[in-house]
Chain A
Amino acid sequence: MQEVYIIGIGITSFTRLDFPLYEIASFPAMEAMKDCGVTEIDHLFVANLGGGRINRSTGLASAVVDTLSLTPAGAESIENGPASGASAIKTGFMAIASGMHNVVMVTGAERMREANALDATEFVATMTHPLAEQIYGVTLPALAGMFARLYMEKYGVTERHLAMVAIKNHHNAMFNKFAHLHQEITMEGIVDSPEASTNNPYVAEPLRFFDCCPVSDGGACVILANKEVAKKIKKPLIRIAGVGQATDVHTVHERDNPTDLLAVRKAAAQAFKMADLKPKDVNVAELHDAFTILEIAESEEVGFFKKGEGHIALENGVTSLKGKLPINTSGGLKAKGHPVGATGIGQVHEIVLQLRGDAEERQVKNARVGFTCNFGGFGNNVVCLTLVREG
């Protein structure tokens, strides 16, 4: 198996972007080619979820490869719900690891804000089980709300802990010029003051507005290569050391224990095993905090903290920018934004910046090992990656 390196990265602001979807996917690809100086691409994988439904745009990979004047390179679109981005990276990894290709471009994009809020919510809800969940009006926030209520009761997590995740990630996003939300928030403003329930209304009880990620447009790209190509680039060598993916039953009610995220646990275990590393070796991580409760739950399931102790680590500042294991230094989905098809690639973009030492004011000192968790559906299809800096 060939070793796989990330040689180039690019990203757009995560915000509202009034450009066609294929341009949102192509812009970060231009940046990534500039970043590494490599323009000979063997193959493209393009991650997206809603093009067909929201933007009336299908066959995205074919549009992107041509927009970038990269024809006749092979190109495919990859869809795996909110984990489309990491799935596309995993596919690119396999293409190089197998020896089939030397240089692969993985770009992802989403243009959700072309739809109004109701259509966007309904569109995302099409990921739930059509007969056993969707017909009842179950949405992703509703699943997260049910998950959160049980989790909080079982492990003593409070609304304040959830707010701490939001406050931390909004703070981190202040240092990320590409983040969707540049707004510091406070415990007083969203929990304690008499105005808090107006500032921060329920979305799906017990989750409130500031527990949920924004609906974002955006794109992100990484260029992957084998060692021979990577060694010629004058950048720190960043290797994809571990890849893991696992699935779980579709309906949340069919899980023996609805507060377990078994796919996260299994995908993370695979990503660590392949890298021959342990959760304690990680210096910086991007976890899929589409809802604040998920950052806490995933931080336990991937093995950073014991089950039921993630909120204690959060409270003690372990996961803050200056803590022992900073989580979501980019601002996370919560504040950086969640342009679905780009999200998993955006997570890797942040880890590469951190491992290169290019993360500016939010740089984690001496970061050598990074980790990402990209969470599809409500945890029924999860992709985790372990990245290491060599040399």
Chain B
Amino acid sequence: MVEEKHLLAYKCKKCGQLHYPFRMRCKKCGNLSQFQFDTVPLPQNGKIVTFTYAYNLPGDFAVQKLGLAIVELDNGMKVTGQLKTVNPKIGKAVHGKIEVVRNEGFNERYGIVFY
């Protein structure tokens, strides 16, 4: 059985503030110690904050248009990801899966895709 993959948030060891994406210094307590974050999985479910279908894409995307969204996850954090749900609307509930989101030659990049 394959373990389910998650996006990771960075939790400050000192004050507990969550960050996504990674930053070197906590935005809340300003801690200056090294390795100050624990990684914690982000929830996969959330609601669409806003979305678009983009048509003029970087050359390695072999699709006519690409759905992209900012989603507010169940813990209140927001992330950017690809959008494959049908009939998207602002506020619609979506479920995220970790998949290959970009194929740059031999370099497969994983990220979150919302259905």
B67-108 interface (Cβ within 8 A of A) = 68-70, 78-82, 90, 101-102
Name the residue of chain B whose CB is nearest to the CB of A128.
Answer: B80
Cα–Cα, bound, A206→B20 (Å)? 27
Say whether B70 contacts A122, CB under 8 Å: no
A153 at the interface (CB under 8 A from B): yes
- A205 is an interface residue with CB less than 8 A from chain B: yes
- B52 partner, pick from A119, A205, A251, beta carbons under 8 A: A205
User: If A132-B80, A135-B111, A136-B80 touch, does A146 touch B57 (CB 8 Å cutoff)?
Assistant: no
* B-contacting residues, A106-159, CB 8 Å: 117-119, 121-122, 125, 129, 131-133, 135-139, 141-142, 145-147, 149-150, 153
Closest Cβ of chain A: how far from B59's Cβ, in Å?
A: 4
Selecting from A196-204, A217-225, A339-347, the interface stretch reads A196-204
Q: Cα distance A68–B49 when bound, in Å? A: 51
Among A129, A137, A203, A254, point to the contact of B101 (Cβ < 8 A): A137
Contact B58 A204 (CB under 8 A): no
Q: List residues of B (20-43) whose CB comes within 8 Å of A's CBs.
A: 20-22
- Cα separation A370 to B114 with both chains bound (whole Å): 45
Cβ distance A286 to chain B, nearest Cβ, rounded Å: 26
> How extensive is the interface on chain B, given as a class?
20 to 34
Residues of chain B lying within 8 A (CB to CB) of residue A206: 52
CA distance A118 to B58 in the complex (A): 6
Whole-angstrom distance between the alpha carbons of A145 and B66 in the complex? 12
Whether A146 lies near B59 (C-beta < 8 A) is no
Contact with B along A222-251 (1 / 0, CB 8 A): 000000000000000000000000000001
Q: Knowing A131-B21, A252-B70 touch, does A137 contact B58 (C-beta < 8 A)? A: yes
Q: Give the residue name and chain of the A residue nearest to B113 (CB).
A: A136
Answer yes or no: B50 CB below 8 A from chain A CBs: yes
B1 close to chain A: CB less than 8 A: no
Are B78 and A145 within 8 A (Cβ)? Answer: no
Given contacts A135-B111, A138-B80, A254-B78, whether A147 and B50 have CB atoms under 8 Å apart is: yes
Q: B78 near A202 (CB under 8 angstroms)?
A: no
Q: Complex formed: what's the CA distance from A127 to B22 in Å? A: 17
How many A-B residue pairs lie within 8 Å, measured between CB atoms? 103
**B58→A136 contact, CB < 8 A:** no
**A204 to B68, alpha carbons, bound, how many Å?**
10
* Residue B61, interface by CB 8 Å: yes
The reply to whether B111 and A146 form a contact with Cβ atoms under 8 Å apart is no
Q: Is the CB of A136 within 8 A of B21?
A: no
> Max chain B CB contacts within 10 Å: which of A122, A125, A132?
A132
Residues of A within 8 A of B111 (CB): 135-136
Which chain B residue lies CB-closest to A119? B59
Residues in A neighbouring B49, C-beta threshold 8 A: 150, 253, 258
**In the bound complex, what is the Cα–Cα distance between A299 and B69 (angstroms)?**
26
Residue of chain A at shortest CB distance from B20:
A132
A149 with B55: in contact, given A137-B66, A137-B82 (CB under 8 Å)? no
- Are B57 and A205 interface neighbours, CB within 8 A? no
B52 touches A146 (CB 8 A): yes
Q: How far is the CA of A138 from the CA of B52 in the complex (A)?
A: 10
Contact A146 B78 (CB under 8 A): no
Q: Which of A137, A207, A258 contacts B68 (CB 8 A)?
A: A137
Contacts of B54 in A (CB 8 A): 137-139, 141-142, 145, 203-205
Chain A residues whose C-beta falls within 8 Å of the C-beta of B78 in the assembled complex: 253-254, 258
Docked CA distance A153–B82 (Å): 21
- Known A-B contacts A132-B20, A136-B101, A138-B68; the reply to A202 vs B55 at CB < 8 A is yes
- Listed in ascending order, the chain A residues whose CB lies under 8 Å from chain B are 117-119, 121-122, 125, 129, 131-133, 135-139, 141-142, 145-147, 149-150, 153, 201-207, 251-254, 258
Provide 5 A-B residue pairs closer than 8 Å at the C-beta atoms, listed in order of the A residue: A203-B56, A204-B54, A251-B21, A251-B80, A258-B70
